[in-house]
Structure 1
Amino acid sequence: MAWSCWLNRALYPQVEQIFESIADTRAKLLQDWTASQWQHLAELAESLGQDLPPDPQLLKARLEQMLDLSELFLVDTQGCITTSTWAPRCGARDQTPEAVARGLLGPFLHGPYSDAQTLAIGPSTSRFHDAVPLMFYQPLKFEGRVVGCLCGRVPNDVLGDLIQREAGHIYPESGDNYLFMVDSRFDASIQAGTALSRSRFEDATFTHGENLKQGVHIAFGTV
């Protein structure tokens, strides 16, 4: 390996530029997707603020338009869920209090984090699904006063699918779609370098070779 690197040392700048370009493309993709979700939520929050409490059917109709979301709900200033497209959650107080507090102050994106409700509610656009969501908090105002948050739940595998559809993969179905934590500014327990998404190699979908889910066989054993 060292000998190969030395022989190809003149290619380092080109390789670095290629990887920087791939990273920039993926970052732009995720930023544009996030901006689109915020736009939809802001418009809905403004509409809901004119007539509270809202008609639950209105939330369900908007959920059908925001395809990547698996749930839309309202949480009041005390952390109680007052309206939800997933009826069993109405009246629950299972949102992270610190996240609710941040969402009351301004638009706040929480996650990824582990949450059993996400698994129970089910997937949105991704055929992969686990108990990890992203949660959008959009302040909800009534007569000029913040009365709660409009929240949107996105299963975390949706992000993996966004990257998976982006060009630049060695194989179209390859698993190089990891997102890693750089600097956790909300949850200090998440260390830098923590993987925030799943690789498709872990989902037994790679057909060009062995998958991590079943184990990859090498000369020294099974990985």
Structure 2
Amino acid sequence: MMKGMLVTKRKEKFADPPNFTEKKDYRPADVKETGLSFVGHEISEDRTVMNQFLHYDQLYTIRHGWNSRFFIGLLDGKIMGTRCPKCGDSWVPVRTHCWNLDCNLQRTEWVEMPLTAKVHTWTVAGWSGRSSLKRLPIVLVYAFIGTSKVAMANELHGIHPWEVEFGMPLKIVFKPKEQRVGAVTDFHFEPVDFWKPSPMNQEKQRIKDLVTPVYEWVKTIK
């Protein structure tokens, strides 16, 4: 009679756990409730993995995994994108695999993008949460960064809302290094130095008429 054999399956490790050596805590020692804000992060020794800590009623951990290099790049004042080694298409926001059918989900590679962009479309916010009321009206654009095939949203500064135009060239401006937290709010768009808006027209005047009361109302906020 043969005795049954107990076979145990060994689980293969997908990857070794990251060794987090760079840790930052932005939360003031005497503050327990900060509202919605990033309060810290940790980065692995090889700077390929980043976790962020977000406070919103309770503490959340955002594990960026393979996309970590984009957020680490923001801390370093860089825009990191991904590129397909087969077709050459690039993306910001990043994609881990190429979506072109001929590339058969080819794994992408990291590439540093230029700090230039072009407006795809935009909108003007005339209302916001309490923390941003004094900054109204806010211009939010979707812009193509470098050669990216997809557009990324962020604020456009240094321009009147009625002067924004499709296709206008932009530059990316980062906050000072000590103020960066590894989020898209670490940078904003501005018009490039040589760009000048086209003359006022009927549509621009319509936008100006809509936002002028917002400017006046913001002046009354204490």
Name the TM tier (shorter chain). Answer: under 0.3
Query: Of Structure 1 and Structure 2, which has the larger fraction of its residues in helix?
Result: 1
Could you state the TM-score of these two structures normalised by the residue count of structure 1?
Answer: 0.26
Structure (1 or 2) with the larger CA radius of gyration = 2
